[in-house]
């Protein structure tokens, strides 16, 4: 790479920026992942004064919103809790379901927040749901395309086939980036709904714990978005570098 072009060509500058930001973004992702586990583990050892389990809080939250048709189920693992809008079912993990801890209640009610979004047709949640099959399809295509390109030696941005592969990569990453983008407000809003419901029903210090758990979890989605955006910009820079080389 000709580093002098960093000061003359925008695409080389963009590529350089993505390289510089790669390590900080990776570190942010690792820290966010560690923090969500640390914060959850801390508040999962703090019992809620009400004595009501996470499952009990979720059921009460849903009923208060008139969502009696949303069912509760179980899923194995830790922090694998999820809401399935197709089946209208919230699955709570082993570490959350029967626990009456502040951490478990916060996590569980976050999923209830997603159920409320679905019922109220929250824009970003609806958009995210529609993007799921599209992202799944293009993600399935991404790795075979890149692997074939590298194996055959056509991945260079200076060849016609290489530019086609990179263009496909841009489309794939663009779809993934869009999905990650609409996920951010969806997750933050679900946490906001959960906190709004829980705050008046808990002691002040318990509500603080819930907020910390929800905030830590939200940062993992921020980290994911940042990494996806960085990868998209990196591929874009390589594509532009190859295109401009042939002008």
DSSP string, 189-217: HHHHHHHHHHGGGS-HHHHHHHHHHHHHH
Q: Active site includes 111?
A: yes
What gap in Å lies between CA 216 and CA 96, rounded to an integer? 16
Separation of CA 160 from chain center? 34
Determine the number of helices (DSSP H) and then strands (DSSP E) in the chain.
Answer: 6, 3
Whether the CB-CB separation of 126 and 101 falls below 8 Å is answered with no
Q: What is the dihedral of CA 225, 132, 130, 210, to 10 degrees?
A: -50
Q: Which of 11, 111, 187, 206 is catalytic?
A: 111
| Spatial separation of the C-alpha atoms in residues 74 and 44, rounded to whole Å | 18
**CB neighbour class for 154 (10 Å; exposed up to 12, middle 13-18, buried from 19):** middle
Residues labelled as active-site residues: 111
């Amino acid at each position: 790479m000709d580093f002098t072009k960093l000061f003359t060509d925008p695409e080389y500058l963009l590529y350089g920026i993505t390289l510089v930001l790669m390590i900080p973004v990776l570190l942010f992702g690792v820290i966010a992942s560690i923090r969500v586990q640390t914060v959850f583990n801390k508040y999962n050892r703090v019992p809620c004064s009400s004595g009501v389990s996470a499952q009990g809080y979720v059921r009460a939250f849903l009923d208060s919103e008139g969502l009696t048709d949303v069912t509760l189920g179980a899923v194995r693992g830790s922090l694998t809790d999820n809401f399935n809008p197709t089946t209208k079912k919230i699955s709570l993990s082993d570490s959350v379901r029967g626990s009456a801890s502040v951490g478990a209640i916060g996590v569980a009610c976050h999923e209830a927040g997603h159920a409320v979004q679905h019922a109220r047709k929250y824009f970003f949640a609806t958009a995210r749901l529609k993007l799921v099959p599209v992202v799944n399809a293009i993600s399935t295509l991404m790795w075979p395309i890149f692997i074939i390109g590298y194996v055959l030696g056509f991945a260079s941005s200076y060849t016609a086939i290489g530019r086609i592969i990179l263009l496909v990569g841009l489309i794939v990453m663009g779809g993934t980036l869009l999905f990650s983008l609409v996920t951010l407000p969806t997750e933050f809003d679900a946490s906001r709904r959960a906190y709004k419901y829980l705050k008046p029903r808990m002691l002040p210090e318990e509500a603080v714990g819930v907020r910390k758990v929800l905030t830590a979890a939200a940062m993992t989605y921020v980290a994911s978005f940042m990494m996806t955006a960085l990868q998209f910009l990196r591929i874009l820079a390589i594509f532009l570098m190859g295109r401009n080389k042939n002008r």
